[in-house]
Structure 1
Amino acid sequence: MEKLQQDLYVPVGGGERLYLKRIGREGGEPVLMVHGVMANGRIFYTDSGKGLAHFLADVGYDVYVADLRGRGKSTPKISRASRHGQTETICEDLPALHAFIRRKSEGRKLHWIAHSWGGVHMSSCLARFPGIAAEVASVVYFGAKRSVRVKNLNKLIEVDFMWNTASRWLIKAFGYLPARRIRLGADDESDKSHLQSKLWAQPKPWVDSDDGFDYAAAARASRLPPVLYFAAANDPCRGHPEDVRRFRDESGPHVSCLHLLARRTGHQHDYNHVSLLTHKDAPQDHFPMVLDWLAERRDKVLENY
């Protein structure tokens, strides 16, 4: 059957729309993909047919790649008028995207996949809404961490200075973080989104700053779907393997595997925070492990860190 490519929109909030790029096969198992901060869904696909979304679609999955509010092709774009943050992502956007795809796939369970901070959004949503978690068959995270506890020069520059300090100066000047304009990231961030993620990354307790919901307690009291955590060897602060491990550990009891993408663990490269998804060798090197995890061949995916 021919691979579908569709541009879809999901309404949320007050007249806002989330963009979904559908790349897949009719009748295939549905997959939701979500990007991290200062990013959009293009981390998962290219127009020329590359990326994890195309890789999964080519073997029969029905893939939906999201642009979160104001990013990518979602409307309206982030501006000084934007009032949404990660609370809206967790409590409104992910549930809306999930429900939309469930309707399109006639009620089938979904697989959830995220890059970087998208994993924090996803685990928060799954911990807060056990009903949604029961409708998710499996989860895969690439470089996902909630807090940055490692100490090195990269962390000092990229997190402590650029993210925690300089970004707040820019937000005071523009009313939002113009990350795309200054080439800090692929897309912009709202004031609230930046502030909320900054607080968690410092790190602060895994508690919602809007309503005080305790995600860590909810995760400990429930059980996430099976999660495969990929960490990259050449990722000094944006998804350091130790921070990925801490994120897995604070997410409560659940079936999981932490796999390090490194030469010393048998892979072709010491991948970084972006290349673990975009490198030309990824489809032959470690993307097949994603297939094993989604197909419940979890004994083939080894914990190695």
Structure 2
Amino acid sequence: MQSSSKLFPVALVSAELRGDLTEDVYLLKPNNSPDPSVELALTRLGRAGRDGARGAPLVLLHGSFANRRIWYTTGGQGLGAWLAHAGFDVWLAEMRGHGLSPRNLSYRDNRVADYARYDLPAIAAFVGEQCAAPAHWLGHAQGGLALAATLGGGYLDAAQLASLTLCGSQISCRHGVLGLPPLGWVARLLLRRREQVAAGWLGLGEGYEDEPAGVVRESLRWFGLFGRFGEGRQDWAAGLAEVTVPVLALAGAGDRAAPAAACRQLLERFGSPLRESLCLGRVEGFAEDYGQVAMLLGSNARCEVWPLLEYWLRHQRLPERR
């Protein structure tokens, strides 16, 4: 089946009814990058029988070693389904080689820089064409970094965004001994011979998937001792000063990969007059010190974190906490 788009080839590969939600899976072929084999899967969740009254568009972007299932489980649960039931027009993007997006010819050399320069602008253009309104964007961990990169690099017009939410995303905290130049160089050299980094190597359990070696090499460069969040001469972090969309940064008090202070530092890079941050932990009155995954998938997230996100998306401010 073909989808109507004047931008580039788009196939509607499936259209299913999942309970009271519709699940439409599109495959985009933007043909805008050096690798012409790239195809991007984009899943839309909507309320059945309500296509004539779509809510505000919202794009959810997964992190590393993940896919759309972090937002929408095989059983029809998750933050994506919850926000669709709340009336948002939810779009689940999967980066090249992840989830339903086929592995491209240059899979091993995929980088977040490619997501930022080519893939996210294509996704934004298609969602904008379908919805005729700026979309809210929410990125988890590396997904948030990809959004920061595309905005800081000027690849995506901020006018296409209604708001930006970063969950557990940071660019300033070095990662242990790999921050030492010799060890980082050796790790990057060894990865040049690898197609991918298997989720199992890192002890990640069921539901996680492999990551292209190029993305991991890029991350090692960013978080090395002399690393910089950018590509070539471009400093994406500096470019964020020109971004003025409303931004929310969520951090987990128990998140060692993205400490709250580092998440706050990324938020402060933005030139947005409307910036909010919140650390999800017991000191702030939450039931637990949330980790990076638990803030979205934990047993307490549904009743504590998800309503906060919904409120922010509707009002561009956080609710007052008792």
User: TM-score w.r.t. structure 1 length?
Assistant: 0.85
Aligned: 1:283 with 2:310: no
SS at match of 2:24: strand
Cα deviation digits, residues 182-208 of structure 1 (max 9, x gap): 355522232332222222223622321
Residue aligning to 1:231: 251
SS at match of 1:137: strand
Correspondence for 2:165 among 140, 143, 146: 140
For residues 179 and 169 of structure 1, the distance between their equivalents in structure 2, rounded to whole angstroms, comes to 17
Aligned: 1:180 with 2:199: yes
1:130/1:81 CA distance change after superposition, 3 Å:
closer
The answer to whether the Cα contact below 8 Å between 2:108 and 2:212 also exists between their aligned partners in 1 is yes
1:272/1:200 CA distance change after superposition, 3 Å:
same
The answer to whether the Cα contact below 8 Å between 1:234 and 1:270 also exists between their aligned partners in 2 is yes
Correspondence for 1:190 among 206, 212, 218: 212
Number of residue pairs aligned between Structure 1 and Structure 2: 289
Correspondence for 1:63 among 90, 104, 110: 90
1:191/1:137 CA distance change after superposition, 3 Å:
same
SS at match of 1:124: helix
1:5/1:159 CA distance change after superposition, 3 Å:
farther
Gaps of at least 5 residues in structure 2 are 1-18
Cα deviation digits, residues 228-263 of structure 1 (max 9, x gap): 111101112x11111111211223344211101111
Aligned: 1:18 with 2:40: yes
Residue aligning to 1:300: 319
Cα deviation digits, residues 124-173 of structure 1 (max 9, x gap): 21233386211211111110112324xxxxx4378779x94785465244
Deviates more, 1:283-292 or 1:163-172: 163-172
What is the Cα deviation at residue 90 of structure 1? 0.4
Residue aligning to 2:230: 207
For residues 81 and 69 of structure 1, the distance between their equivalents in structure 2, rounded to whole angstroms, comes to 8
The answer to whether the Cα contact below 8 Å between 2:46 and 2:84 also exists between their aligned partners in 1 is yes
Deviates more, 1:130-139 or 1:32-41: 130-139
Correspondence for 1:3 among 9, 16, 21: 21
Correspondence for 1:36 among 63, 70, 74: 63
Deviates more, 1:4-13 or 1:240-249: 4-13
SS at match of 1:283: helix
1:28/1:67 CA distance change after superposition, 3 Å:
same
For residues 58 and 49 of structure 1, the distance between their equivalents in structure 2, rounded to whole angstroms, comes to 11
What is the Cα deviation at residue 296 of structure 1? 1.6
Deviates more, 1:246-255 or 1:9-18: 246-255
Flag the structure with more relative contact order, 1 or 2, with Cα contacts below 8 A and sequence separation at least 6: 1
Cα deviation digits, residues 98-144 of structure 1 (max 9, x gap): 11111121x11100001001111102212333862112111111101
Amino acid at match of 1:274: V
Gaps of at least 5 residues in structure 1 are 150-154
Cα deviation digits, residues 263-300 of structure 1 (max 9, x gap): 12111111111110101321211211111111125152
User: TM-score w.r.t. structure 2 length?
Assistant: 0.81
1:158/1:24 CA distance change after superposition, 3 Å:
farther
For residues 177 and 199 of structure 2, the distance between their equivalents in structure 1, rounded to whole angstroms, comes to 19
Aligned: 1:267 with 2:286: yes
The answer to whether the Cα contact below 8 Å between 1:170 and 1:176 also exists between their aligned partners in 2 is no
